[in-house]
Amino acid sequence: MNFKTIAMATTVLCLGFSAVTAQETPQAKREQMMKQIGGSVGALGAIAKGDKPYDAATVEKSLTTISTNIKAFPDQFPEGSEGNSEAAPAIWQNNADFRAKAAKLGNDADTLLASLPADQAAVQKAVQTLGADCSSCHQTYRMKK
């Protein structure tokens, strides 16, 4: 690892991908991004269900993680990284559509951030909107193991 790589990794860390390091494979990187997205939707879901009390900071943090990660996500699919992951071949065959689906989730998260869901009912609606974006991409682009 040269200095530039380390500097880049540090920048990435500052952006909040705390568990991502420069030495990880593209597969591990993108899975980590998705795991964090999954964790964030989980935190929103707990508020939506009433398992956790409404908390504006948690809502904002979760939406920010989703937005940041999904914007970087489509760049984690270099040629040759098909194997050893749940990434469907369609990602490479139909990359513009794949990117559009990622952008849709990014936009929806940003819209919610701009007008933060302010109570449990609003978080429920947010989870529905985001959840539809997850499924619409996973259906085509995530293979079931």
How close are the terminal C-alpha atoms of the chain, in Å? 33
Q: Is residue 127 near ligand HEC by the rule CB under 6 A?
A: no
CA distance 41 to 72: 17
Long-range CB contacts for residues 92-98, cutoff 8 Å, separation at least 24: 94/140, 97/140, 98/74, 98/137, 98/140, 98/141
Contact residue for ligand HEC among 17, 20, 37, 65 (CB under 6 A):
37
Contact residue for ligand HEC among 31, 60, 97, 110 (CB under 6 A):
31
Contact residue for ligand HEC among 20, 34, 43, 63 (CB under 6 A):
34
Give, as ranges, the residues between 92 and 111 that touch ligand HEC (CB under 6 A): 98, 101-102, 105
Whichever of 27 and 124 has its CB closer to ligand HEC, that residue is 27
Contact residue for ligand HEC among 35, 49, 50, 118 (CB under 6 A):
35
CA distance 16 to 62: 12
Whichever of 55 and 97 has its CB closer to ligand HEC, that residue is 97
CA distance 32 to 140: 20
Angle at 85 between CA 142 and CA 91, to 5 degrees: 45
List of residues contacting ligand HEC (CB under 6 A): 27, 30-31, 34-35, 37-38, 41, 66, 85-87, 98, 101-102, 105, 130, 133-134, 137-138, 141-142
